[in-house]
Structure 1
Amino acid sequence: MKRLSVLLFLLISSAALAQQNAETNRWSATEANAWYAKEPFLVGANYAPANAINELEMFQADSFDPKTIDKELSMAESIGMNTMRVFLHDLLWQDPAGFTKRLDQFLSICAKHKIRPMLVLFDSCWDPFPKLGKQHEPTPGIHNSGWVQSPGADALTDVSQYPRLEAYVKGVVGAFKNDQRILAWDLWNEPDNTNDNNYGQNYLKTELPKDRKVAIITSLLPMVFQWTRTAGATQPLTSGVWIYRTPDDWQNSAKWTPMEKVQLENSDIITFHQYSNPEALEKVIPALQTFGRPVICTEYMARGVNSKFQTHLPIAKKAKVGMINWGFVAGKTQTFLPWDSWQKPYVNGREPAVWFHEVFKQDGTPVDPAEVAAIKQSTGK
C-alpha cells in the first residue's frame, strides 16, 4: 500500500506539469479544422491481419506477414476504405531498428492501397500480462482471446519502467513524426477500461484492481501526450472517449470523469466509440461537435447491438464524421463472436446466428454483400 501511495504521488506530481505542457502545445481548433478540411470522408476498420491474434503477432519479426497484409488491404481499397486503425505495442520497441523497419514496410503497403492509418500507441483492453515471442493459439469460441494490453500490469505498476515507455513513445513517434502516410496518433485506447467481464472483477480476476488501474493511467496519460508532442508529431493526437453518456453529459464538463477530462482537453481531434443504435449516433455527433474540433468515430459496428454500416454511415457522412468499424477479415482474433462469448463460448463448431464484427470472412467473401454495398456507396466506390 505504501509503494502504491508513493507511485501515485510521483505520477500525480509529474502529470500536473505534463498536463500543463501538453495543453500548451495542443493544436488550436482552427488548426485542427484546417487539417480536417483537407481530408475525405474517412472510412476504415480496426485492422489486424487474419493470421495475427494480437498486435505483437502482427509486428514481431517471426510473424510479420507483408503478403497477407497486402492482400487484405487490397480488399479494403476495393471497397473504398481510406484509413485503418492499427495497434502498436511498447514491447516491440525492444527491437527499435527491426520494429521501425517493419512499421515502415507496413506504411508503404498502406500507401500502395491509398490508406492512411491511425496508429494506436497504448491499449487498456484484454490480457494484462503481454509477453514477447510466440503467441498462444486462439481459445476456441472466445472473442479476442489473445489480445494484450500495452503497457501490461507489471509496467503500469513499476515506475522504473516509465523511462522505457517514454523511449518507446518518443522513438516510434520521432521516427515517423513527419510521415504523411500516417493519418493520426491515437495515444491510448479505452484507457479506463478495466475488463470487468473477462480479465477483471467478474471473471478471471487477473486484472489490476479497478480504482488502482484507472488512477495510474489518469496520471500517466498526460505524460504520454507530452512525450508525443515533445517527439515532434506533425499529425494530430487523440485518445477517444468510449463510455456511453447522454449528449447533455458531454456538454457539461462537471459530469466528465478525470480520465475523460484528460482525453478531451488534450486531444487535437475528438474521437469516440459508439456501439449503439443509429438514433444514439444522431444525438451524440452534434454534442461532440460542440467542442469545435473534428470528430471521428474510431470504433462501431457490432451487429448484435444494432450498430451497422447501412444505418450509421449515411448519418456520419452527412455530418462528415469519420467512421472506423471494429474488424476487417475474420481470423485469429475471433471478433466475429460476441463479447459475452467469454461467459458462453461458441464451441463444437457453433457460430452466432449473426456475426458480431468483421466485414469479410476468411475466404474473402463478404459477411453480408449488402454491407459492402453500403460501404462502397458511402466512399463513392
Structure 2
Amino acid sequence: MKLLKATIWAVTICLSFQSCAKKAEKNKEDTTAGEESAASREIWTKEQAKEWYAKQGWLVGADFLPSTAINQLEMFQETSFDTATINRELGWAEDIGMNTMRVYLHDLLFQQDSAGFVKRLGVFLDIAQKHKIKPVLVLFDSCWDPFPKLGTQRAPKPGVHNSGWVQSPGFEALKDSTQYPRLERYVKGTVTAFANDDRVLAWDVWNEPDNPNTSSYGKVELPNKVDYVIPLLTKSFAWARSVNPSQPLTSGVWAGDWTSHETLKPIEKVMIDESDIITFHNYEDAADFEKRIKQLQQYDRPLICTEYMSRGNGSFFKGSLPIAKKYNVGAINWGLVDGKSQTIYPWDSWKKTYTKEPDLWFHDIFRKDGTPYKKEETDLIKSLTAAK
C-alpha cells in the first residue's frame, strides 16, 4: 500500500511538472503578446483595485514556510524542495478555511537555475491550487541574515527565532549597482512566467525594505541601508509592472507614523504610492491593529495585513482577526507550522537563551504532526472563515 501511495505521488508530481512547464510557457507567450501591444501598465486606479478585491472574498492565510525548510532557499532549491510536506501542511491550512499564503522567493534561486526555479514554483502553485489557496509571492526581503549563500543551508541555532532566514538581495548585491541587471532579470523573469496566472494572488515586491535588523545582524548590516534600498525598490516596482502582471503589486508598510501621507518616511511614500493595493504589518494589540486600519483607509484602496499575530507581543487571533473581518481587511499571520524557522520562540531569543519550548508560542498555529498549538485558535479561525 505504501509503495502504491508513493507511486501515485510520484506520478502526481511528474504531471505537475509537465503542467507547470506548459502553464509557464503559455504565460510567457501571453505576456510577450501583451508587451508587443502595450507599454508597461499603470498603477491601478482605486476602482480597478476595488474591482479586483471584490472578486477575492475575505482573504485569510499565513506566511508559509514548510516545517522542513529553514529559509526561502531551502524551500525552493531542487535538492530540498519538499512537495510532500508542502502538500500536507497546506492541507491543514485548507481545513481551517485559509485561502491564501504569503511565500518568499529569492533572487539567487533564479540566478542558480531560472528554468528549474520557475518550474518548482509552478509545482508549488499547483499544490496550493489543489487546496484552494492563492499565494502572495514576495520578491525581495530585507530581514535577518544579509549574507545569503546557495547550497546546503545551515542547521537552526537551538532556540533562536528565524536563525537561518536570509535577505534578498544580500549585502553584496544591494550595495553593488552593477548587479541591477541580474536583479532585473530575476524580477521580470519571475513575474513574466506567472503574469497571467490566476493561481497567484499578488506580488509583494519587497518585505520590510528598510528593516535594519538591529537586534540580530545590525552590527554587520550595510550602513545607510535605506539609501541603497529606495532606488532599487523604485526600480523593482517598475520592472515588475513593465511585464504587465494581471495581479496587483504591493509593498507593506510596517513601522512608522501613518497618520497622513506627509508623516510617512520617504521609503514609505514609495511603498504606498507604487502599490496597487495597500498592505501592512501589525504585531501590536487589537486596539492598535484597528487604529492602523483606520489610518490606512485614507488611501481608499483594498487593505491586507500581511503579517500579524505575535502572542508574546500582545497580538492574538482573538483580538485582530475579528477586526480584520469587520473592516474586510485581508489577514495573513506569521507562521503556519512549527519547524526549522523556530518562530515559536520570540524575537528576544537573539539576546536571551531558551532551552525548551516556550509555554507561550510567539508565532505558528500547528505542531509538526498537525495538531493545533491552541485548539480554541483554530476553532476561531474556522468559525470566522466559515470552514466546514
Same fold (TM over 0.5): yes
Q: CA–CA distance in 1 between the matches of 2:256 and 2:93? A: 29
Residue of structure 1 equivalent to 2:143:
125
Deviation string for 1:167-194 (max 9, x for gaps)?
0000000000000000000000000001
- Paired residue for 2:326, among 318, 325, 331? 318
Q: CA–CA distance in 2 between the matches of 1:152 and 1:106? A: 24
Q: CA–CA distance in 1 between the matches of 2:40 and 2:313? A: 36
- Tell me the CA shift for residue 23 of structure 1: 11
| Structure 1 residues not aligned, in runs of 5+ | 1-21
Deviation string for 1:258-316 (max 9, x for gaps)?
10000010000000000000011121112211201000000000001111111111111
Matched, 1:257 2:265: yes
| Structure 2 residues not aligned, in runs of 5+ | 1-38
Matched, 1:266 2:266: no
Deviation string for 1:56-110 (max 9, x for gaps)?
0000000001111000001110000000000000000020110011000000000
Alignment of 1:1-381 (within 5 A): 25-94=42-111, 95-200=113-218, 205-209=219-223, 212-245=224-257, 250-347=258-355, 350-381=356-387
The answer to whether the 8 Å contact 2:143/2:166 transfers is yes
- Tell me the CA shift for residue 233 of structure 1: 1.0
- Tell me the CA shift for residue 24 of structure 1: 7.7
- Tell me the CA shift for residue 244 of structure 1: 4.4
The answer to whether the 8 Å contact 2:40/2:242 transfers is no
Q: Which amino acid aligns with 2:171?
A: A
The answer to whether the 8 Å contact 2:62/2:335 transfers is yes
Which SS does the other structure have where 2:339 is aligned?
Answer: coil
Deviation string for 1:205-255 (max 9, x for gaps)?
12112xx2101101111100000011221100000000043xxxx242221
Q: CA–CA distance in 1 between the matches of 2:311 and 2:122? A: 34
Q: CA–CA distance in 2 between the matches of 1:322 and 1:244? A: 21
Q: CA–CA distance in 2 between the matches of 1:140 and 1:36? A: 41
Q: Which amino acid aligns with 2:85?
A: T
Q: CA–CA distance in 2 between the matches of 1:32 and 1:138? A: 40
Q: Which amino acid aligns with 2:77?
A: Q
Q: Give the aligned CA root-mean-square deviation in angstroms.
A: 1.2
The answer to whether the 8 Å contact 1:80/1:379 transfers is yes
Which SS does the other structure have where 2:213 is aligned?
Answer: coil
- TM-score, length of structure 2 as denominator length: 0.88
Q: CA–CA distance in 1 between the matches of 2:95 and 2:303? A: 25
Q: CA–CA distance in 1 between the matches of 2:313 and 2:260? A: 27
Q: Which amino acid aligns with 2:328?
A: K
- TM-score, length of structure 1 as denominator length: 0.90
Q: CA–CA distance in 2 between the matches of 1:169 and 1:23? A: 14
Please say which of residues 361-370 and 324-333 is displaced more in the overlay.
361-370
The answer to whether the 8 Å contact 2:161/2:344 transfers is yes
The answer to whether the 8 Å contact 1:140/1:345 transfers is no
- Tell me the CA shift for residue 374 of structure 1: 0.8
